[in-house]
Structure 1
Amino acid sequence: MSAEVEVTSAPQDVVRPETTSVGPRSRAAALAAGIAVCAAGAAIAIGFGRLFPAVNPMLIAIAFGALVANLIPVPAWIGPGVDFSTKRLLRLGIAVLGLQLVFHDILALGWGVIALVVVIVAAGITGTMYLGRVLGLSWTQRVLISCGFSICGAAAVAAADGVVDAKRKEVITSIALVVVFGTLMIPGIPLLVGVLGMDDLQSGILAGGSIHEVAQVVAAGGMIGGGALAVATVVKLARVLMLAPVMAYLGVVRRRRSRETGVHEDTVGRQPPLVPVFVIGFLAAVAVRSSGLLPDVVLEHAALVQSALLTTAMFGLGLGVRVGLLRSIGLRPFVLAAASTLWVVLITLVGVLVLS
């Protein structure tokens, strides 16, 4: 997997606190208020998600956050809490996501399917990065779109942002594209497998290997049939597991660029970590889940915590969306998203035919 390296140092367009000095108590209040606002928005999004199970609550949260931001003035003083939600809580949620994965389930797919998953992610990212460069998009925008479309949708976009520190506009754009094109694939993949006459195993691999979001995979797999749904879910979780090596690779790239240019050094001159801490936490969570030591009740509560953390972060991201921001996206990200979707489907389809 290759990805050419360009790093820009444009400032983040996020919700910021007022620049006046604040004492510890007032900052603590701002932190608590911002987190509370994001948590309340997440609770509403999760409630809507229960009514519409085919739609990931994270996607509902970011849309709801954008709606709130454009209808209600968001006070700048809660900025510290919003920033905490979109960064710290987000990374914690990614780490807890590892508790959904079991190494045994992935290995049960067989080495042929596992190799295909690696090819889907590696070739998907490489091809998307190359086309994005041809289209003239920034390196960070290409990274977000390629990871989101090749790995696991919004969670991968958020994880990549945690490593490369992209602009808020780029994060919002990438997640919005995941919603649009992933939703189109829910009826599209079942239609394709029907035309091609695929069996449950083949159609499950195609759905799990090409559709962006886990919830979207479940919806499409359910339309195809029960046997396909089981295969599709495990294949998709195998793609989720690829978050760890890809984020570690991006961490190495960013560290090298920081050493060469100093663009991404923080205010005290420290290098970014070789492997982000949340990636280590993600792998540790996978290991703990795979050990079989955790009872089902703990795993059920962990799933709720993970959903709450990521949904809270997504609502915070949505608060940074403005109508003018969406108008300025332009056509090129949509072109890249469409091409990346078709590219990942093609890679998966060829892999299914090779394995058959």
Structure 2
Amino acid sequence: MKRGSAPRAQFTVSRILDMAPGLVATAAAVGLSMAVTSVLPTVSPLVVAVALGGLLANVGGLRPAFGTGLAFAGRPVLRFGIVLLGLQLAVGEVIGLGAAGMAVVVITVVATFAATVLLGRALGVSRDLTILVASGFSICGAAAVAAAHGVTKSDEDDVALAVALVTIYGTVAMIALPLLGVPLTLRADQHGAWVGAGVHEVAQVVVAGSAVGGVALAVAVVVKLSRVVLLAPLVVGLGLVERRRTKHDEMTARPPLVPLFVLGFLAAVALRSTGIVSEGVLDVAGFLQKLALTAAMFALGTGVRLAAMWGTGQRALLLGAASTLVAAGVALVAVLALF
């Protein structure tokens, strides 16, 4: 046995013991979040989890012993969840949209992200919060917020506020877009494409598409998942921007050119696209992905300080409203022009 091997094993055991309190608290929060979602299916467990984390932190329930476990849930577990998210996507489904469908997706995502960044500057919202809101509203809600947080220097307060905005305005869009299809005389496929491009969270799209029914639901889900595909180039782009903003003499602080979890996400997409992964495995992976992202959101939520969020609340609400209108408006115009 080499010298130093025993201490290394001892350190590993010690590390696990250090993480245990935080991981137990995280597991309890995940279980409660899932229970709430089972009663209220329109409420994402990610949203419940970040709220529970914020509540724990702000009522004085957060203990120093939780720190190591929460740090593990907030980074490695988060990235594992994003990798598993790639298994929801098959390239063939995206190609099946055709040129018109992909054009709607790309136009909506690019326009929403760019407009949100410009509006954030105009409203005086911080750069980090603006980037998180732009990512969440243009791509896939809370998961995109978490992915953007992984390559930027945003703090937990910004993450919690961005997730809250996604929930509020995604819910509004989830209710409004199905109701507006009839007065706008949209065909079923047009209505589904609009819902998929204009509603923020995947779960919200499923609910809104179900309200329309038939062909609209299938189209809405495929369009939405096509938006999720753009998560990888978005995160890579944000990582490049962050590298340029970081001084060259701070090489250790600079984010990687392409984060490993993005490569894992792309590998998961490629694996799903081969068709060799069974439905049973996909179901398990989908469940694990939801657990991982819910755990990560609870961990991030424990870093929230309501007093720090209060000053930016009104401007952030305006930004969320404007971003939602841009997403829905651009998506509608693109659908009417191209479908």
So what's the TM-score if we normalise by structure 1? 0.88
Residue in structure 1 matched with residue 234 of structure 2 by the alignment:
246
Match of 2:187 in 1: 199
Alignment of 1:168-183 (within 5 A): 168-183=156-171
Q: Tell me, yes or no, if structure 1 residue 47 matches structure 2 residue 30.
A: no
Partner in structure 2 of residue 81 of structure 1: 69
- Is there any run of 5+ residues in structure 2 with no aligned partner, and where? 1-10
Gaps of 5+ in 1: 1-22
Tell me the alpha carbon deviations over residues 130-153 of structure 1, each in whole angstroms, 9 at most, x when there is no partner: 111111222211110000000000
Of 300, 304, 310, which residue of structure 1 is paired with 2:283? 300
The CA distance in 2 between the partners of 1:227 and 1:82, in whole Å, is 42
C-alpha distance in 1 between matches for 2:60 and 2:235 = 36
Q: How does 1:185-334 map to 2 (within 5 A)?
A: 185-260=173-248, 262=250, 265=251, 269=252, 271-334=254-317
Structure 2 CA distance, aligned partners of 1:314 and 1:182? 18
Deviation for aligned residue 1:30: 2.5
Separation in 1, partners of 2:38, 2:214: 21
Aligned to 1:349: 332
- TM-score w.r.t. structure 2 length? 0.93
Alignment partner for residue 38 of structure 1, among 26, 33, 43? Answer: 26
Partner amino acid, structure 2, of 1:63: A
SS in 2 for 1:47: helix
Tell me the alpha carbon deviations over residues 3-32 of structure 1, each in whole angstroms, 9 at most, x when there is no partner. Answer: xxxxxxxxxxxxxxxxxxxx8765542312
Q: What SS does structure 2 have at the residue aligned with 1:164? A: coil
- The amino acid of 1:237's aligned partner reads L
2: CA distance, partners of 1:140 / 1:323: 17
Give 1:326 deviation, angstroms: 4.0
| Aligned residues: CA RMSD | 1.7
Amino acid at match of 1:73: G
Q: Per residue, is there more helix in 1 or in 2?
A: 2
Percent identical pairs in the alignment equals: 44
CA distance in 2, matches of 1:195, 1:116: 21
In structure 2, the CA distance between the partners of 1:259 and 1:321, relative to structure 1 (3 Å rule), is closer
Question: What displacement does 1:167 show?
Answer: 1.4
Runs of 4+ displaced beyond 6 Å: none
**2: distance between equivalents of 1:312 and 1:271?**
26
Q: Is the 8 A contact 1:148 1:157 kept in 2?
A: yes
Partner of 1:60: 48
Match of 1:11 in 2: none
Structure 1 position 202, deviation (Å): 0.6
Q: What is the aligned residue count? A: 329
Partner in structure 2 of residue 7 of structure 1: none
Deviations 1:273-292 (A, max 9, x none): 10111111000000000101
Q: Distance in 1 between matches of 2:318 and 2:39?
A: 32
Kindly state the Cα deviation for residue 309 of structure 1 after the two structures are TM-superposed.
0.3
Matches within 5 A, 1:7-22: none
Instruction: Assess if the C-alpha contact under 8 Å between 2:246 and 2:253 holds in 1.
Output: no
Q: Residue 5 of structure 2 corresponds to which residue in structure 1?
A: none
